[in-house]
A and B are shown apart, each in its own frame.
Chain A
Amino acid sequence: MKAHQKALLLLNSLECLDARFWHFFRTRDLEPSQVWEDPSILGSLGISDNAMSHLRDAIQCDWAEREIDRSLSSGITIVTIEDDDYPSPLKKVPYAPLVMYVKGQLPGSCDLIGIVGTRRCSEYARRATMDLARTIAEKTGISVVSGGALGVDTAAHRGALEGGGKTIAVLGTGVDVPYPGKNLGLFRDIAEKGALVSEYPLETRPRPWNFPRRNRIIAGLVGRLIVSEAPLKSGAVITARYSLDLGREIWAIPGRIGESLCEGSNRLIFDGAIPLISLSEFVSILAGKDQLELFGSSSFEGTDLPGMELDEKEQEVLELLRLSGERTVDNISLEGKMSAAEVLTSLGNLTARGLVYPSGPGRWASRVI
C-alpha cells in the first residue's frame, strides 16, 4: 500500500474533504504519511475537532488497511486522485473526490455523456431517454454516465446497455450497497459492462446529503450533459448548474410547457442549454459524421416481424402519432376516420413491433427517433 493511498483513504473517510484540501496539503510540503503518524498537524490545517477524533479512531483500528482488503476481496478497485487511472476530466475539477471506489471497469476513453433527470419521470421521458442512450451506445460507442436512481437514470443505464455500450453509475452510497434495491439487477449488469462508481466508503447507507455531492461527480466526469426531464427543484438541474460552471456542454430534452415535471429542463433551454430536438442529429453531431451516413437511408423501423409489412392503416396511425405527441384512440379514429377497433388493431400491431407505446392511461405515443 502506497502512503498516499492510505492518507487519501483516511482523509476521504471524513466525507468533507476534496481535491482542494489535498492540493493545499501538498503545497505545504507535507508527507502523506504524516496524516496517520502525526494527525495533529491536520488540526492546524483547519480540520474540526470532531473530524479529528473520527480520524484518530480510524487510524487506531487500521481502518484504511481493512478497507483495502475488503475492496480487494469483493473486486472493487480504489482509485485515488494521485493515480494515473483517475478519470482525467475530474482531475481539473476543484471539488473532485479524493478517492473513487470502482466496481467494474472504467472506460478507457474519457469522452463521456451524462444523462440525468427526475426519478418520477413521465412515460414519454422514460422512453425518450432509453432510446437516446441506446442510440448513443449503438451509433457512437460513447459511454453514458448517470446516477443509478429510478426513473430517467435507470432508463439511461438500461438504454446504454441495450445498445451494447458501456455505462457508469455514480452512486450516492457505497458501491457495495445496492440502492434503490429495485435496481439490484441493473447494478449487476452495469458492474459487468461498465462501472459502479462512488466516493463513499464501503457500506455507506443512503443518506439524503450524499446525493447532491454525487451530482458534482457526474458533472465533473462528463463532457456533455443531457437533462432529460426535470422539475425546477431537482438534482438534475443542480447537476446541470455544476456542469455549466465547469464549462461543459448542456443539452436538454424539451418538454411541454406548463408541466411542472419538465419546468426545470425547459428553463435550462431558456438559460442557454441546447435543445435536443432530434436523436439522429444529436448523434451525428457527437460522431461528427453526416447523419444519413450513420442511420442509413431508412429511419428506425423497430422490431421486424417475419413476413409482415405495415399495412395502410398501421402506416396512417403511425403517421398520426408521429405528427403529434400523445393521442387517445378517440383522437386517432376521428382524424384517421377509422373505427376504434381498427385503431386498436393497428396500435396492437405497432406495439408488438416496438414502434408505439402506451404513454399514459388511454394514451399512445410513437417511439422517439
Chain B
Amino acid sequence: MTEHLELGNWGERIAANFLSEKKWKILEKNLRLKRGEIDIVAMDGKELVVVEVRTRTLGRILPPEATVGPQKLRKLVRSGEEYVMKNNWQGPWRIDLVAITINNDNSWDIEHITDISVGEFRS
C-alpha cells in the first residue's frame, strides 16, 4: 500500500477510537457505496452521523478542514443520502468532519467539526 493510503487507514482508526470514547456507536467503517465512500457511519444519540476523516501531517499548507470543498461536500451529501435510503433511516442525520493533524514529534491533534453541511446542501 502506498504511504498516503496507509496514513488514511491509520487516521480512520484513530477517529473511530475518538468517537467511541464519546459513547458514539460506530455502525460502519470505510464504506464503499455507488455514489462514493464514507469513512465512518456512527450514531450520536438519536442522530445518525456520516463522518469524514481527514489526516494530514503538519507542514502541509492547508488545515485539514479546509480540504473539504463544496464538491466533496456535495459528494458526501449524496453518499449519505444513499446510505440513509438503503438502511431506511427516518430520523435526522448530519455530516461531521474529524480532522487529525500529526505534529513533528509524532504526536497528534484531533479536531471534531459537527454538521459541516449547515443546511447548504439539500437533496
| A–B contact via C-beta, under 8 angstroms | no
B: residues with CB less than 8 A from A are: none
